[in-house]
Amino acid sequence: MSPGAPGGAGAATRIGRRGATWVLVAVSLAQLATVIDYYALTVALPTIADDFGVTTPDLHWVITAYLLAFAALLVVGGRLADMVGRRRMAIAGAAAFGVASGLCALAPGPELLVAFRVLQGASAALVVPASMAALAAAFPTARRAAAIGVVMGVTSAGNALGPFIGGALTGSVGWRAVFLINVPVCLAGALACRAALDESHGAPGQRLDLPGALTLAGGLVALTLTIDRVSEWPPWSAVAGAGVTVALFAGFLHVERRAPFPLVDLALLRRKGVRTVVIAGCVDNFGWAVAIFGVTIYLQQVRGLSPLQSGTVFLAMSAGTAVGGPAAGLLVRRLGFRRVMALGIALSASGLLALAVVRGLGPFLVALAVTGVGVGLTYSVAVIATAHGVPESDTGQAEGITLTAMVIVAALAVTVGGMVIEAASGGGAPDQAGIDAALLLGAGVAAAALLVLLGGFLASRPPHQVHRATPRVFPIRRGP
């Protein structure tokens, strides 16, 4: 039963089964494993590469496969949550993520590790939109932005712990422990959701749009494969890959316009002010993903730091996101979506630029922290803006759309970033020039997000009315 549901005055004000605090704890725990896993694994990648006898750039599919599965199924997960129940889907997703994490820990080689990462991504696509939709359904509109800000702050704190935990576990127990640590976290998240969340659903009578899901997933896979292999394929293959990608995405839009229950309600994308903010946040996310991937390689393979030392350095960036997440919920109420998004983009772009040019450890840590604060703001504002003005029955789908776009951008960023590092390093081991080139690319794309925001602002302004100038008549003062 959601707030405001029939059942008396007490039922109208009660939040969740055990109060607002427990709802926040449950949603935060449900998402924490997905956050810790991603950031802990980035630090462990060089060690995994050594263990399997491959290079770190070759392992980008360990990240990309997860992000692709996550992106392809996020909207599906949001729709299933609306249909089956947000609480039920959050519990199932958390449990499935724990099982997939255990399988990753047992992977004997890179191929099976990538396969199990796909299962992890699919599980995360169930738990993330379901738990966020359950949060939006639990809190009234006036308190929703603050609640989302709190959850973003907690998950950002997971960002802060992720690299350190990954470095500590990899350096002491081994990289497989990075996956095993998810199992108890997922169990705690599933139990907390079961105890704290009320069940809520979307509009009745919805069905899953299977053709839309298949064309969307196919388009994402075709796009990523084409970008990843464009330097190796002959020209005709690259053109064919691009053609297949365009055809699948065009088919997806065609299906969505005619489906009785579309996977993506295109009307949700037409809210001009919110749409621009969300798009800008997605573009800025490219720089963030490049930074995570590039800085990980830089710290361990260029500067020669151990996994634990690398994770400790990463605390500066991740602590910045822990500040930016909850700050976004407070600033949006005072300054509005656009101004806070512009501030976050400016910070992240300048931080990425500084990462590419500074050399001392002190300035590097400051640049990491500035980048983290900026991305913490932009990510949180995009999520808060998505829930703004959306009917409670559509929150699962709306959050799924935004998160899908952000994850798609991140997957492309990891793929492109790996290609840039390899090319700028001369095809050999990653070096300073390769890392700098990737970070400069990330800074440029993040700066482009400001142009997106400015363009949306100008497009949404009402046309100026042109008034015909009328001469002012000054009275002629005559003498007394």
> Which residue positions in the chain have pLDDT lower than 70?
1-14, 16-18, 56-58, 156-157, 159-160, 202-203, 205, 231, 266-274, 387, 389-397, 456-480
Angle, vertex CA 33, rays to CA 314 and CA 345, nearest 5: 50
Q: What pLDDT is stored for residue 477 in this prediction?
A: 38
What type of residue sits at position 344? G
Token pair, residue 346, equals: 């400016």
Q: What pLDDT is stored for residue 389 in this prediction?
A: 65
Token pair, residue 422, equals: 């390899």
Instruction: Give the list of residues 6+ apart from residue 91 with CB closer than 8 angstroms, or none.
Output: 190, 193, 194
CATH number of 15-208+261-457: 1.20.1250.20
Q: What pLDDT is stored for residue 4 in this prediction?
A: 37
Token pair, residue 376, equals: 């913490």
Question: pTM of this prediction?
Answer: 0.72
* Local structure of 336: helix, strand or coil: coil
Q: What pLDDT is stored for residue 355 in this prediction?
A: 92
Q: What pLDDT is stored for residue 456 in this prediction?
A: 67
Q: What pLDDT is stored for residue 334 in this prediction?
A: 84
pLDDT, tens digit, 9 for 90 and up, residues 102-159 = 999 999 988 899 999 999 999 998 998 888 888 877 887 777 777 877 787 777 667 6
- CA dihedral 389→390→395→397, nearest 10 degrees, is -130
